[in-house]
Amino acid sequence: MPVQGPAPARGPARHPGLDHFNAVPPADAEAALLTCCGSRRWAHRLMLHRPYPDLGALLAAADEAGYDLAPADLSEALAAEVSPGLHDAAPPSAHLALRAAHAAYESRFGHVFVICLDGMEPAEQPDQVLAAIRTRLGHEPDHERVVTADEMRRLARGRIIDLVSAS
């Protein structure tokens, strides 16, 4: 019986959406990235580092660029965000409560509330958003800026995955 050697080493799986992203013109790639995070500097930096060998490398670059955002870049990204809302079928009282919570948050911190809800059941999202706003309203502005930047990085990661999955 012949002895088989070790299986050949496999590199990261190719992702057709990533191949497409790597191949599109720079302006198109940057525009697509701006839908993931509204910071022009962040999008431009990621566009310049193409081609990415795999999705993990793109996500790592996105995280690194997110950590490097200056306060003005984060403000620009936040200006492009829309606060999470509720499904139209939610009770009117829930819509009112969420609107009031968003208004209180925006008044305190000067920007929209952002939260990454990836992996959370839709039915749990309204309660999670309200609870998070209540908790985060107690943060000092500097601490909340750090939390917000982390949520933006998480949102951008999920959006990048969606972007290359849709291609």
157 within a domain of the structure (yes/no):
no
In the numeric block, which tokens belong to residue 37?
């995070």
CA gap 66, 49 in Å, rounded = 14
pLDDT in tens, 41-58: 999 999 999 999 999 999
Q: Choose among 164, 93, 105, 95: nearest CA to 137.
A: 105
Which of 68-107 are b and which e, b meaning 16 or more Cβ less than 10 Å from the residue's Cβ?
ebeeebbebbbeebebbebeeeeeeeeeebbeebbeebee
104 within a domain of the structure (yes/no):
yes
State which residues form the domain around 121.
82-148
User: Total structural domains in the chain?
Assistant: 1
Q: Give 121's pLDDT tier (boundaries 50, 70, 90).
A: confident
pTM of the model: 0.86
8 within a domain of the structure (yes/no):
no
13 within a domain of the structure (yes/no):
no
1 within a domain of the structure (yes/no):
no
CA gap 116, 159 in Å, rounded = 10
CA gap 123, 167 in Å, rounded = 29
97 within a domain of the structure (yes/no):
yes
What is the separation of C-alpha 151 from the centre of its chain, rounded to a whole number of angstroms? 7
What percentage of the chain exceeds 90 in pLDDT? 71
3 within a domain of the structure (yes/no):
no
How many other C-beta atoms can be found within 10 angstroms of the C-beta atom of residue 51?
11
pLDDT in tens, 141-167: 999 999 999 999 999 999 999 999 986
62 within a domain of the structure (yes/no):
no
> Cβ distance 102 to 111 under 8 Å?
no
Query: What's the whole-number average pLDDT of the chain?
Result: 89
